[in-house]
Structure 1
Amino acid sequence: MSVERLMTLAASCFGDRVWLIGGTQESAQLSVALSRFQLPCIVTVTTESAKALYPITQSLQIWVGRLDVTHLEEFLQEQGIVAILDASHPYALEISKMAIAISLHRQIPYLRYERPAVDAEIDNNQQVIRLDSFETLLTGDYLQEQRVLLTIGYRNFPLFRPWQEKSTLFARILPSVTAMDAAYAAGFAPDRLIALRPPVPAELEKALWHHWKISLVVTKASGTAGGEDVKRRVATELGIPLVVITRPEVAYPQQTSDIEAAVEFCRYHLK
């Protein structure tokens, strides 16, 4: 039996706990709030580097890896999960859909913690181009012969490989080997990449756009935590078009953007 398996079995002896789907700044904030009340919680992340986001407490365990449908049932049973708090990235559809499906199947309470969207008033900005998908972006002529900065996450890079010959693509990525490898595989040269964890200060955004002579920026509607508000302001100031890929629609059973409400949800189901 593997060491990871033994640790998982040992951890399951602590009784009922909440499954916090993590990997985001919001999930880190929620973990701190849950720790204040010593609420038993296991947070799942996909990379070792993400572990640094979370506090070290007796009530919190961090599980690193990718869960799939095959092992999810076993995971919930071994960990004694009595409630699911989903604070994954707004574009992490797969894990959210799996969590919702199994919560309905096993009748486990589920709550989506959704990071607040950028104030709708900013949408009056004429520099902002809102598109419903990457497909809409890539089948149009938005990128043609542009110097494009992508701040979209490395998982979407393969979609842009055909455009490496039709435009000049730059990308900002998370400081991880996985992200770097994905960028290289999609045809990005080292001098067209920069590794920074968002949000990025406005002055640094402006300096980067100036340095690379960017004429178009592509981002996702990731809210303030992802620096969307800063990018919108910089786009207005510099007169550079900003393409925002809107959030995918998911039928969450229930959701909140209030940390206190999320903590109360966990407290109620851990009674």
Structure 2
Amino acid sequence: MTVTPSIWLIGGTRESRELAQVLALNHLPCTISVTTESARSLYPSVPLLQVWVGQLDADSLPDFLTFHQVVAILDASHPFATTISQLAIDTALKHDLPYLRYERKSVDSSHFANNQARNPDRLVRLPSFEALIQGDYLAGERVFLTTGYRTLHLFQPWQKRSHLYARVLPAVASLEAALAAGFTPDRIIGIRPPISLELERALWQHWQITLVVSKASGTPGGEPIKRQLATELGVKLILIDRPPVAYPHQTDDLTTAIAFCRTNCAGVGVIPITPPN
């Protein structure tokens, strides 16, 4: 068989979908890696774009790079998906591959400065989930967790000390994780972002939420909406800061990301390849 050398786009985010669409328009070959089958439908179905579904690790990645003839890495994973980002950075260094991190902008807090000055206790920023769990922030509160299913197990010890509610993706793995962490079905909602202001408000009011926990995921993660509603409804908002990663090269400019792909795809052609056993 033959394979066209391609960009490895680490996907699973709205940004990666936007990148894939522009890459397709520019006829640039790309292999997009995602972790769930349901994410495949987020990307355009065109000849030069392939979607690979699965979990990559240090052992499986060399075969992945060889089979897809990866010439460069464009990392558009979630800001909190540090494991795959660090793996990609290490791989780029080991195999001498160009690497670029494309990341959503953080929310400009100055826009909310006046409201925060009037209500200094309404917004709390914490460096990690561990700092939240080990503190006393959740005690006696009606807490809405919008942090994804992978963190829910951390909150299990708080089930009897607060009223916990969780929003997760409408997927079997997400729902099973919520149930295993002690959430009853009436305290779980499965829905895929983006979440509108009106729906977000309705959920907070329906469950009489007094505290919301969210990741500092920027505008695509709905952070501005949560900040606005926290002020409007008098609800406390705890934001977990993005974990630090030493990205060797980073941009939030779409044009720069596409230029990176065009440069690294220049002059590549179709070559024969044998699939791994």
TM-score (norm 2): 0.92
Report the Cα offset of residue 78 of structure 1: 1.3
Deviations 1:137-194 (A, max 9, x none): 1111100011100000100011011111111100011111111111011111110011
The 2-side partners of 1:111 and 1:205 are apart by 34
Matched, 1:55 2:44: yes
Contact 1:199 1:224 in 2 (8 A): no
Instruction: Quote the offset at 1:199 in angstroms.
Output: 2.3
Cα distance in 1 between the residues matched to 2:191 and 2:231: 22
Counterpart of 2:227 in structure 1 is 232
Deviations 1:218-260 (A, max 9, x none): 0000111111110010001011010000101100010111111
Query: Which amino acid is 1:20 matched to?
Result: L
Q: Structure 2 residue aligned with 1:263, among 251, 254, 258?
A: 258
SS at match of 1:69: coil
1:147-162 to 2 correspondences below 5 Å: 147-162=142-157
Q: CA RMSD in A?
A: 0.9
Q: Which has the higher contact order (CA 8 A, sep 6+)?
A: 2
The code of the aligned residue for 2:135 comes to G
- Other-structure match for 1:4: none
Offset at 1:122? Answer: 4.0
Deviation of the 1:123 alpha carbon: 5.3
What stretches of structure 2 of length at least 5 have no aligned partner?
Answer: 267-277
Partner of 1:112: 101
> Distance in 2 between the 1:69 and 1:90 partners?
20
* Partner Cα distance (1:208, 1:68) in 2: 37
Q: CA deviation at 1:206?
A: 1.1
- The match for 2:131 is 136
Indicate the residue corresponding to 2:53 in structure 1: 64
Task: Please tell me the residue identity of whatever aligns with 2:255.
Answer: E
Separation in structure 2 between the aligned mates of residue 81 and residue 250 of structure 1, nearest angstrom? 23
Shift, 1:20, TM fit: 0.2
1:100 aligns with 2:72: no
Match of 1:179 in 2: 174
Q: 1:26 aligns with which of 2, 11, 15?
A: 15
**Unpaired segments ≥5 residues, structure 1:** 1-9
Look up the equivalent residue of 2:26 and give its one-letter code. Answer: F
Distance, in Å, in 2 between the alignment partners of 1:50 and 1:177 is 14
Is the helix fraction higher in 1 or 2?
1
The CA distance in 2 between the partners of 1:238 and 1:15, in whole Å, is: 53
- What amino acid maps onto 2:258 in structure 1? V
The residue matched to 1:29 in structure 2 has which SS?
Answer: helix
Amino acid paired to 1:207:
A
